[in-house]
């Protein structure tokens, strides 16, 4: 009996190892999982802020164009991404670049007939107003290789792990950006700041969804 017991244990370990290596691990490392994590976090934030019915209504009425991201290998540029859709698809300068229409990644800055450039939140020149959590604390998203949220008033009570969403008039209000990292005292001891924690890496993304948020004339 002991011998058969050990055989069963050995077989079980082998099956679990095989399943993790060839079935689970590839999925956990996949770009699709990164995308799903970001979508899930964004939807949780939107529902907490606006309620499920309001979120469903917004998503139903949202117009977006899905575009593939051109490779920047071997430079792997994060500040600017080139996508394979442009004016012919209805994209215009100022449109929001997102993950599945739910997570803000950047803004369209130049447009050609069938391609466009997207400045991302990883660009050092990026700066946009955000709000934090249910308390709606104001903050400033500063771009860079490691984006940060700055100018958080100490009196707001903002806490690590709270959702960060856009409050800039340049983008759809309330669109998810990320979560607040560990808070620290900023220069002059007046404000707090924190790293922005993201549910994705740009290297994991193959597509962006461009929200057609700017008005078009009938001719367009």
Express each pLDDT in 191-211 by its tens digit.
999 999 998 988 888 999 999
Token pair belonging to 14: 């082998």
**pLDDT tens digit string along 86-139?**
999 999 999 999 999 999 999 999 999 999 999 999 999 999 999 999 999 999
Kindly state the average pLDDT of the residues 41-65. 58
**118/96 Cα distance (integer angstroms):** 9
pLDDT at 215: 52
pLDDT at 49: 54
Token pair belonging to 125: 């020149």
Q: Is the pLDDT of residue 60 over 70?
A: no
Number of H helices, E strands in the chain: 4, 13
**Does CATH place domain 7-215 in 2.40.10.340?**
yes
Tokens 């011998």 -> residue: 3
Q: Break the chain into its structural domains and give their ranges.
A: 7-215
Work out the mean pLDDT of the chain and round it to a whole number: 80
Q: Is the pLDDT of residue 58 over 60?
A: no
pLDDT at 61: 54
């Amino acid at each position: 009996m002991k011998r058969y017991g050990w055989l069963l244990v050995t077989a079980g370990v082998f099956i679990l190892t095989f399943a993790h290596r060839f079935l689970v691990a590839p999925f956990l490392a996949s770009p699709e999982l990164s995308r799903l994590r970001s979508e899930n976090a964004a939807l949780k934030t939107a529902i907490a802020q606006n309620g499920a019915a309001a979120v469903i209504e917004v998503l139903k009425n949202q117009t977006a164009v899905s575009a593939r991201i051109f490779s920047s290998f071997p430079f792997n540029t994060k500040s600017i991404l080139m996508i394979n859709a442009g004016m012919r698809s209805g994209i215009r300068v100022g449109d929001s670049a997102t993950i599945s229409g739910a997570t803000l990644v950047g803004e369209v800055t130049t447009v050609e007939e069938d391609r466009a450039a997207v400045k991302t939140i990883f660009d050092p020149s990026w700066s946009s107003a955000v709000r934090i959590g249910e308390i709606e604390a104001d903050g400033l998203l500063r771009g860079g290789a490691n984006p940060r949220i700055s100018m958080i008033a100490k009196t707001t009570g903002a806490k690590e792990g709270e959702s960060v969403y856009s409050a800039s008039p340049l983008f759809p209000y309330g669109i998810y950006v990320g979560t607040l990292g560990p808070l620290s005292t900023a220069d002059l001891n007046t404000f707090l700041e924190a790293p922005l924690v993201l549910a994705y890496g740009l290297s994991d993304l193959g597509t962006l969804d461009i929200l057609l948020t700017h008005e078009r004339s009938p001719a367009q």
